[in-house]
Structure 1
Amino acid sequence: MIGIGDAWRSASQRIDRLDARLLVERVAGCTHADLIAHSARLLSAAQLATLEVLVRRRLGGEPLAYLLGSAGFYGLEFMVTPAVMIPRPETELLVDLALARVQSLPAPRILDLGTGSGVLAVTLGWKCPAAVLTAVDLSPAALAVASGNAAMHEVAINFLAGDWYAPLGEQRFDVIVANPPYVTHADPHLQQNGLPFEPQLALTDGVVGGDGLACIRDIVGSAAAHLRAGGWLLIEHGYQQAAAVRTLLCQAGLTEVASWRDLSAIERVSGGRLR
């Protein structure tokens, strides 16, 4: 057996120092302050074995969030598993845009399409407690994670299983948000940065030779039938897709069509409004 400080130093020789620290803290059940102040505290043989497995998985490229079982988003902590995408900071722009459009409504109806881990729906409900929230996903495993996150943050959400608008009937909403699959099928980035470990169903529409916009076309094409008068559709997309998405929004009859840039100055979200 070795102390948690020595375990951290040993792991730091094989993986990133911060990653090593977070894994040791998770295995030891301690805080960063504990790690510094009580570095001689011993890890059991079982804990050392668990740490070794986690370090090897990280060396193999598995994202840290899956190893820790959680990830941060908009100041909140969310459970994540390989059944859902890991939330990205740039997606927080969708939250800001949606909140700005419902702040004057007493009980806004908000729809999150392809909810995944539920970060959009849960964060919107957390920031706007009066909102009436619905979230849809095709994956039962993803819905289970999202439901757990909603319960953890005490946000009431109506979760529905199905393909985009299919389970909604004639329901209409003040704001629809979506972070759909938009990476092209053969994009080399799908083999980098831990993406092979994330659900491909959430990353790419799988259309061989396609442009990555198949899901966005489905969402935009049927949005008018599910928006209230004056309601907004807001969609995250790829860094080179803003112009194409704006064209789709205009073709669908939406007005005030625009794109918004994330903190990296990339046009990350596009949207439009039903007259």
Structure 2
Amino acid sequence: MTGLTMDAFCAMKSRAVPPPAKAPYPACLPTGHHRAPSPALKLLDLIQRTTDYFTKQGVASPRLQIECLLAHVLQMPRMQLYLQFERTLTPAELDALRPLVKRRAEGEPLQHITGTTGFHGLTLACTPDALVPRPETEVLVDLATEALKDRPPGHLADIGTGTGAIALALSLTLPAWRISATDVSPAALDLARRNQSAHPGTERVELAQADLLGPLTPDAVVANLPYLTDAEMASLPPEVKHDPELALRGGSDGLDLVRRLIASLPDSVSFIALELGPGQPATAAALLKARGFPAPRTASDLADRERFVLAERPSAIPTAQ
């Protein structure tokens, strides 16, 4: 995935760099409107010029961004661009690309512009109705898979599923488990169903509208709930502002929903894995200890930041049978 990660968000905050001025119309792309036709522009030249433009506008990973936009417009794999550097773009291709470059320079996430993102081997549809899945959440999938793969199959619930990314990925890595996924947002669930229908093998994921667990009594819980603090919500980078507030805001310390989830865990739950913001795992671990999980452990994300908590307690009888 090529969008802004939580680690990039935190790095941007720590640098306290003022946001760039609103992007002007992308002059890096030639146009023949109202003047003599521009000279032919080869693919490599366009990539270099737009990379410079994105850099001035403060866009992260600027070359990758224009390559992904070009691959989208030209309908080819991104790596295929490297074999066509001498290709000259047609006026129609430039006309299709120009507004996309402008939208990206103004802070709209790449995933919303192209409509898709990659997650754990899946290609997922992305819209403003749900949080764009981040690369670090793939770590949560891997941690849960490793912890559960040798257990007797049971019932696993993904809470706050959004696009369905976690539940759909786990349905493929844990094929013997019953998988449920909940979200309070009907629009997010519609998006999750759309993603489910696009991936054979994920049909058995049970999607349901519910506040947190709702009526479910699973054996295991996985969740990436909203965890941004009120202070962080007041200083969001442009890309993050395009995600729904419902999927971001976690209250004064970011843990409002995490507290509610942990407090509501039924006795059937013997395993839980949570993705959290930096600085939050210790508090979540203490809450889990108070609910009978004797030795919660933490794990780090792709940038070696402590971001995950996993906890177990004596197993109940699996409920998937």
Fold-level similarity (TM above 0.5): yes
The DSSP-based 3-state class of the residue aligned with 2:274 is: strand
Give the letter aligned to residue 161 of structure 1. Answer: Q
CA 1:238–1:42 in structure 2 vs 1: closer, same or farther (change >3 Å)? closer
Give the letter aligned to residue 165 of structure 1. Answer: L
Aligned counterpart, 1:273: 312
Q: Measure, in 1, the Cα distance between the counterparts of 2:264 and 2:294.
A: 15
Quick check: 1:7–1:24 contact (8 Å CA) kept in 2? no
2:256 equivalent to 1:214: yes
Aligned counterpart, 1:103: 149
The DSSP-based 3-state class of the residue aligned with 1:126 is: helix
Runs of at least 5 residues in structure 1 that lack an aligned partner in the other structure? none
Q: Measure, in 2, the Cα distance between the counterparts of 1:25 and 1:55.
A: 13
- What is the aligned counterpart of 1:258 among 269, 278, 297? 297
2:174 equivalent to 1:135: no
Quick check: 1:91–1:236 contact (8 Å CA) kept in 2? yes
The DSSP-based 3-state class of the residue aligned with 1:122 is: helix
Give the letter aligned to residue 72 of structure 1. Answer: G
Aligned counterpart, 1:159: 207
Deviation at 1:44, TM superposition (A): 4.9
CA 1:131–1:48 in structure 2 vs 1: closer, same or farther (change >3 Å)? same
2:82 equivalent to 1:40: no
Deviation at 1:41, TM superposition (A): 5.3
Quick check: 1:249–1:271 contact (8 Å CA) kept in 2? no
Quick check: 1:4–1:24 contact (8 Å CA) kept in 2? no
CA 1:211–1:110 in structure 2 vs 1: closer, same or farther (change >3 Å)? same
Runs of at least 5 residues in structure 2 that lack an aligned partner in the other structure? 1-31, 33-39, 55-61, 315-321
The CA deviation string for residues 161-220 of structure 1, in whole angstroms up to 9 with x for no partner, is 121022xx2x32221000001110121674216111111111113x3xx21110000110
**What's the RMSD between the two structures over aligned residues?**
2.3
Report the TM-score, using the length of structure 1 for normalisation: 0.87
Counting matched residue pairs gives 265
Q: How many percent identity over aligned positions?
A: 32
The DSSP-based 3-state class of the residue aligned with 2:143 is: helix
The CA deviation string for residues 124-158 of structure 1, in whole angstroms up to 9 with x for no partner, is 11112222110001111211221122222220211
Quick check: 1:74–1:92 contact (8 Å CA) kept in 2? yes
Give the letter aligned to residue 256 of structure 2. Answer: A
The CA deviation string for residues 104-124 of structure 1, in whole angstroms up to 9 with x for no partner, is 245331100000111111111
Which is higher, the Rg of structure 1 or of structure 2?
2
CA 1:13–1:93 in structure 2 vs 1: closer, same or farther (change >3 Å)? closer
Q: Measure, in 1, the Cα distance between the counterparts of 2:256 and 2:209.
A: 20
Aligned counterpart, 1:204: 249
Report the TM-score, using the length of structure 2 for normalisation: 0.75
Quick check: 2:161–2:181 contact (8 Å CA) kept in 1? yes
The within-5 A match list for 1:82-97 is: 82-97=128-143
CA 1:33–1:124 in structure 2 vs 1: closer, same or farther (change >3 Å)? closer
Q: Measure, in 1, the Cα distance between the counterparts of 2:267 and 2:140.
A: 21
Deviation at 1:226, TM superposition (A): 4.9
Q: Measure, in 2, the Cα distance between the counterparts of 1:213 and 1:189.
A: 17
CA 1:260–1:14 in structure 2 vs 1: closer, same or farther (change >3 Å)? same
